[in-house]
């Protein structure tokens, strides 16, 4: 028994050190994975918020058609001979993730020259398609993540001849 002289203590300290190092390495790996998952969730939330805002704005425009102020103003500018590329009508809102900015602009107005006077019960007039671009941009609060989405749509109008 006199020949051991503390070897059990040295072995146990060595094993304890090895287990501690394994625990620290494992903890650092878990922390890194947690950061990756958190960043992924923020990125997905920004994307989803942008998509939701884009669909919400499109739904409003689809329901109200040209009675919606931004679409009516854009149509009036095009009808008055303003250039086809108009400054976007921009709306900014705050959300729980950061900010969302939506804009709508007219890309062009295509007249069909269709005369409806030969059709029973209709009035003489021209129909035209107005092409719009609806854009939504979102950023998180730290501005590390952003999402930019674009949706095109068109609305048919009838201009009655007087």
Closest CA to 152 of 111, 110, 109, 107: 107
Which residues neighbour 61 within 8 Å (Cβ) at sequence distance 6 or greater?
A: 68, 70, 71, 104, 132, 134, 153, 155
Inform me whether the pLDDT recorded for 40 exceeds 90.
yes
Distance CA 46, CA 96 (A): 10
Residue length of the chain: 162
Give the residue, 80 or 16, on which the prediction is more confident. 16
Q: Where are the domains of the chain?
A: 3-160
CA neighbor of 134 nearest in space, from 68, 76, 78: 68
C-alpha closest to that of 134 among 158, 157, 107, 103:
103
In DSSP terms, which residues pair with 160 in a beta bridge? 125
| 87 backbone dihedrals φ, ψ, rounded to 5° | -65, 135
**Residues 119-150 pLDDT 10s:** 444 444 566 777 888 888 899 888 899 999 99
pLDDT value of position 115: 45
What is the pLDDT confidence band of residue 154, given thresholds at 50, 70 and 90?
confident
What confidence score (pLDDT) does residue 93 get? 66
Give the pLDDT score at 88.
53
Q: How far apart are CA 57 and CA 141, in angstroms?
A: 22
Quick one: average pLDDT of 42-49? 91
Q: Which residue has the higher pLDDT, 162 or 155?
A: 155
Has residue 3 got a pLDDT over 80?
no
- Can you tell me the mean pLDDT for 29-36? 91
Phi, psi of 120 (to 5 degrees): -60, 130
Q: How far is CA 159 from CA 63, 112, 123, 126, in A?
A: 20, 11, 10, 5
> How do residues 51-106 score in pLDDT, each as one tens digit?
988 888 888 777 776 566 666 666 666 666 654 444 555 566 666 778 888 877 77
């Amino acid at each position: 028994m006199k020949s051991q002289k503390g070897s059990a203590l040295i072995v146990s300290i060595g094993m304890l050190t090895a287990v501690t190092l394994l625990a620290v390495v494992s903890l650092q790996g878990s922390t890194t994975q947690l950061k990756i998952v958190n960043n992924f969730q923020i990125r997905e939330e920004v994307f989803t918020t942008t998509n939701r805002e884009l669909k919400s704005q499109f739904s409003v425009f689809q329901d109200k058609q040209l009675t919606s102020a931004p679409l009516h103003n854009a149509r009036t500018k095009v009808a008055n001979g303003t250039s086809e590329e108009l400054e976007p009508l921009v709306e900014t809102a705050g959300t729980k993730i950061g900010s969302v900015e939506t804009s709508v602009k007219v890309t062009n107005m295509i007249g069909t020259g269709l005369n409806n006077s030969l059709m029973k019960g209709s009035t003489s007039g021209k129909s035209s398609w107005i092409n719009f671009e609806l854009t939504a941009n979102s950023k998180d609060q730290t501005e590390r993540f952003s999402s930019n989405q674009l949706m095109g749509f068109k609305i048919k109008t009838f201009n009655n001849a007087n």
